[in-house]
Amino acid sequence: MKKYTCIECGRGAEELYRDFGGGNLKISHCDQCEQVVDKYVEFDPVLVLLDALLHKTQAYRHILLNSDIQFHWRLSVICLLCDAYIKWAQLKSADTTDSQQHQLGFYALEWDFYIMFLLATVELAVFLGCCMLLLRVSREVLFPDVRFSSVVRALLLSSFGKLLVIPAVIWGETNSTVYLGLTRMFVFTCNSLAMRVTLGTRQHVSCGLVAVCLLVQYLISLSLHSLLYTPT
């Protein structure tokens, strides 16, 4: 199995560049499509991130297949905090109309933040677990070469769109349905593209896979939320 991937055609490649010594490097070209294997090795990381924001498949291949980025778990903790904050802000907003809840004061709301963080963690675990289950079931037929650790890494890294919550907090738009809906749509398209690149599958297959996982996640989240906050 070849170590790298050509970001243009998605085929395997032996190397990204050849080192002739003395600081002389030569960018490698793909045997199949004859284009540069990975032009992003020469790019500034900010430009790679910009292309990832624009959903360029090449940028995703560079990040997920040709680079050794390993901060996905740290990124996921920050994303969980963003998720928890939005849930907490929405809960707080709903509680302001409930005078009985409002009397519980700030400390009760703070506890709610921890509960929301726990809920966001469970949601992420359900999302990843559902994805692993679907891949395991379809492994024999559709994805014989799948590596689960690569899929988890791809899903966590491609959830960077959740950080768009931070501008919402700054602008005071934490209850904006349109903004939050667009953010979720952006995360969905990023996850789908990341799955397509990692699994080497078609766009509609990866979209369907992510959509099913999100649906299961939503239903479980709804059940847990109603279990925790339904008045008795």
Interface residues with Zn ion (CB under 5 A) are 6, 8-9, 30, 32-33
Residue among 61 and 92 whose Cβ is closer to Zn ion: 61
Radius of gyration of the chain (CA): 21
8 A C-beta contact, residue 199 and residue 151: yes
As measured in angstroms, the least distance from the Cβ of 174 to Zn ion is: 44
Q: How far apart are CA 36 and CA 17, in angstroms?
A: 9
As measured in angstroms, the least distance from the Cβ of 219 to Zn ion is: 41
As measured in angstroms, the least distance from the Cβ of 20 to Zn ion is: 22
Please, is 173 exposed, middle or buried when counting C-beta atoms within 10 Å of its C-beta (0-12, 13-18, 19+)? middle
CB-based burial, 127-161: b 16+ in 10 Å, e otherwise: bbebbbebbeeeeeeebeebeeeebbbbbbbbbbb
As measured in angstroms, the least distance from the Cβ of 66 to Zn ion is: 12
Residue 224 DSSP one-character state = H
- The DSSP-derived string for 6-22 is -TTT--EES-SEEE-ST
Residue among 30 and 81 whose Cβ is closer to Zn ion: 30
Q: CB-based contacts of 107: which residues, under 8 Å, 6+ apart?
A: none
Residue among 33 and 50 whose Cβ is closer to Zn ion: 33
As measured in angstroms, the least distance from the Cβ of 4 to Zn ion is: 11
Which has the closest alpha carbon to 76: 3, 142, 158?
158
As measured in angstroms, the least distance from the Cβ of 44 to Zn ion is: 23
Residue among 6 and 79 whose Cβ is closer to Zn ion: 6
Residue among 6 and 209 whose Cβ is closer to Zn ion: 6
Residue among 6 and 89 whose Cβ is closer to Zn ion: 6
